[in-house]
Structure 1
Amino acid sequence: MAKKLSIRDIANELNISKTTISFILNGKAREKRISDVLTEKVLKYVAEKGYKPNQLAKSLSTGKTMIIGLMVEKISDYFFAQMAYHVEELAYDSGYKILYCSTDNDLLKTRELISLFRDRHVDGYIITPPAGLEKDVQALIDDGLPVVLFDRYFEDVDSSYVVLDNYKASYDAVKYLTQKQFKNIGFIELDSDQSQMKDRRNGYLKALQESDLVPMVLRVPFSNSPDKTMKHLIDFIEQNKNMDALFFATNYLAFEGVKALGKLKFKIPQDMAVIAFDDHQAFDIYTPTITAVAQPIDELAKKSIHTLLNMLNSQSTVYKQEKVIVPANLIIRDSTEKNNL
């Protein structure tokens, strides 16, 4: 096997100091007033030899690994998969690579992954945190590490975050149903007190309160299998026979909800109107199509990576914590157009 080319080898071959070679390879030729002729000579030589710098040595020199740790709830979920795709693309344009993983909303697993990323010396973190991670996030911040929370945040931790305006999005969706004269609106949510779910619940409750309507809420355990969720939904619908609309707090709950309505022989929207929080490409090809709260994933991803890059490019380790709230869009489709049929 051929010996891997080192900076020492390049310096000896070109009769140039290792320091000069290092400055050129790290893009500091102009800053160090190294001539264009010499710079071109070195770059041409390393290109011909296929030289690749040792990443560990480079990180020790610059203090950066140029790697970002991205931790989402479930990378297979459409929302988080699209978010990860956009973040990776934007990070790459700024010279960073992404290491990403799923936490499965599991506190212990998330802590182990943070420990792994610390060992890898990632430069910054974008985290969709499970409940109970407050101390771990605070520890990262206290150690001067850039952290951006995504999709949810902790009220008791002063951190940067990028989230959807979940409260207003939920309020607007339910307000739309009340304006369409739906009177008995059920809300299907995850059994979670995380910020995004609390805001969606509170938006629902506020809209009902303004119309003097009675809440009907089903909380589904996050760990439920699809079959268990289906059973809970069928029982809930059968127990609330006057219900004329369902608002689902996530798209995957809506998928199971549509199946449950089908098993009960309910027609959408004649027997039950449906709105899903978090749009999905499948909702536009369902029959009928499904009204949904759309999260602008590209905008959320852009805000997240730009917030983190601002911190990474800061000259200080005492970072300004940015709180970014992005508005949602309500996409009206056939599943709520009962009066037009």
Structure 2
Amino acid sequence: MKKRISIRDLAAQLDVSVTTISFILNGRAEEKRISAQLVERVLKHVKEVGYRPNSLARSLRTGKSHIICLMVEDIANPFFANIARLIEERAYKSGYKIMYCSTDNSLVKTREMIHMFRERHVDGFIIAPPEGVDEEINALINDGRPVILFDRTLPQVSTDHVMIDNAASTYLAVKHLVAEGFKNIAFITLDSLQSQMQGRLEGYERALREHNLNFHIKEVAFTLDEENTIRHIAAFLQRKKEVDAILFGTNYLAIRGLKAINQLKGQIAPKLGIVAFDDHDLFELNSPSITAIAQPIEEMADKVITLLLNKLNSLNKKKPNQSVLMNTKLVIRESSKGAGPELTVVSRASS
């Protein structure tokens, strides 16, 4: 492995002081009255030898790395992937790079990732946190690192956060199903105490209580793979033959649920009403198309990165925290209509 060229190596090779080279590389040559000829000679040599500054050393000197850490549950999930892409675009235009990681809702992994990014002197954090990392995030905040939480909050963390109104979203979705004539509405969700999932459960229960209807709740572990999730959902529906509609707590649960329903043809109600939390391209292609609670992805991403950039660029480090609550949109399609056709699943073409 070739030895990394340092700024001291450049100085020795050019017979110029380290300070002078530093001024030139940091765009301060004119301010320091360094001749254009010397600037040209230094920059030409830098290009020839392939010198690249040590970003960690620079961040230690300046206190800024111009790197933002984005931690989400699963970067492959379309919701988080779309949010990440929009955040990255805004950050890049503002001179920042993004480093991603998936927490997999693992407390141990999240703690390790926070420690690693903290050691790398990232300037700020955008986090969709799992349960139990309150202490680690508070340590970041106390250390002067700006932190924005989104999608969910933590009870013991006081910082800016951006969320949707989860309870109102599922409440309105259930009201819609009731209006379409469904009476035994199941909620298939994650076995989770995270704030967003608890809000979705709260809205479901509130709507059913208002109409004196029974709860039918199935909680699935986040760590279950697709095959076992489908098996659990199928077993639940076989036991609950009275269920005539289902609200899925996430889009990936809905996709796995549709596969379970397809396996149970003839064993359950042929015309189940379906609503999914989070929209997905597949839902428009399904036959019938699937009603979904669509989150305001562009607005959420814009608000998250705006809050963080404002914190990073503000001289006032004691600015009051902002709590942003956004509304969703119920995109009504064929699957939630009372007289809708029998549900089938459209398979994706294999590549």
Q: Same fold (TM over 0.5)?
A: yes
- Say if 1:146 and 1:319, in contact at 8 Å, map to a contact too: no
Residue in 2 that maps onto 1:217: 217
Residue in 2 that maps onto 1:304: 304
SS in 1 for 2:233: helix
Cα distance in structure 2, aligned partners of 1:288 and 1:271: 10
Residue in 1 that maps onto 2:132: 132
- Say if 2:29 and 2:39, in contact at 8 Å, map to a contact too: no
Q: Which amino acid aligns with 1:107?
A: L
Q: Map of 1:85-124 to 2, 5 A cutoff?
A: 85-124=85-124
Cα distance in structure 2, aligned partners of 1:43 and 1:155: 56
Q: Map of 1:246-257 to 2, 5 A cutoff?
A: 246-257=246-257
Cα distance in structure 2, aligned partners of 1:13 and 1:324: 54
Cα distance in structure 2, aligned partners of 1:241 and 1:39: 82
Cα distance in structure 2, aligned partners of 1:286 and 1:266: 19
Q: CA deviation at 1:261?
A: 1.1
- Say if 1:269 and 1:334, in contact at 8 Å, map to a contact too: no
- For residues 87-114 of structure 1, give each alpha carbon's deviation from its aligned partner in whole angstroms, at most 9, with x where no partner exists: 2221111111111111110001110111
Q: CA deviation at 1:198?
A: 0.5
Residue in 2 that maps onto 1:178: 178
Cα distance in structure 1, aligned partners of 2:187 and 2:195: 17
- Say if 1:208 and 1:214, in contact at 8 Å, map to a contact too: yes
Cα distance in structure 1, aligned partners of 2:256 and 2:223: 14
- For residues 296-334 of structure 1, give each alpha carbon's deviation from its aligned partner in whole angstroms, at most 9, with x where no partner exists: 222222111111111111224435322122211111111
Residue in 2 that maps onto 1:46: 43
* 1:279 to 1:48, Cα distance in 2 relative to 1, 3 A: farther
* 1:266 to 1:169, Cα distance in 2 relative to 1, 3 A: farther
What's the TM-score, normalizing by structure 2? Answer: 0.86
Residue in 1 that maps onto 2:280: 280
Q: Map of 1:61-76 to 2, 5 A cutoff?
A: 61-76=61-76
Cα distance in structure 1, aligned partners of 2:84 and 2:324: 18
- Say if 2:284 and 2:290, in contact at 8 Å, map to a contact too: yes
- Say if 1:91 and 1:305, in contact at 8 Å, map to a contact too: yes
Residue in 1 that maps onto 2:205: 205
The alignment-based identity, stated in percent, is 46
Structure 2 unaligned regions, length at least 5: 342-351
Q: Which amino acid aligns with 2:131?
A: A
Q: Which amino acid aligns with 1:148?
A: I
Task: Count residues with an aligned counterpart.
Answer: 337
Q: CA deviation at 1:337?
A: 2.0
* 1:223 to 1:56, Cα distance in 2 relative to 1, 3 A: closer
Q: Does 1:164 align with 2:161?
A: no
Judge which range, 315-324 or 145-154, deviates more: 315-324
Residue in 2 that maps onto 1:238: 238
- For residues 245-290 of structure 1, give each alpha carbon's deviation from its aligned partner in whole angstroms, at most 9, with x where no partner exists: 1000001111111111111116999520100001111111111111
* 1:271 to 1:2, Cα distance in 2 relative to 1, 3 A: closer
Judge which range, 108-117 or 78-87, deviates more: 78-87
Residue in 2 that maps onto 1:258: 258
Cα distance in structure 1, aligned partners of 2:200 and 2:246: 14
Cα distance in structure 1, aligned partners of 2:22 and 2:64: 15
Structure 1 unaligned regions, length at least 5: none
Cα distance in structure 2, aligned partners of 1:238 and 1:271: 15
* 1:113 to 1:266, Cα distance in 2 relative to 1, 3 A: farther
* 1:167 to 1:7, Cα distance in 2 relative to 1, 3 A: farther
Q: Does 1:337 align with 2:334?
A: no
- Say if 2:70 and 2:125, in contact at 8 Å, map to a contact too: yes
Cα distance in structure 2, aligned partners of 1:128 and 1:94: 22
CA RMSD in angstroms, aligned pairs only: 2.9
Q: CA deviation at 1:65?
A: 0.7
Cα distance in structure 2, aligned partners of 1:123 and 1:28: 23
Residue in 2 that maps onto 1:153: 153
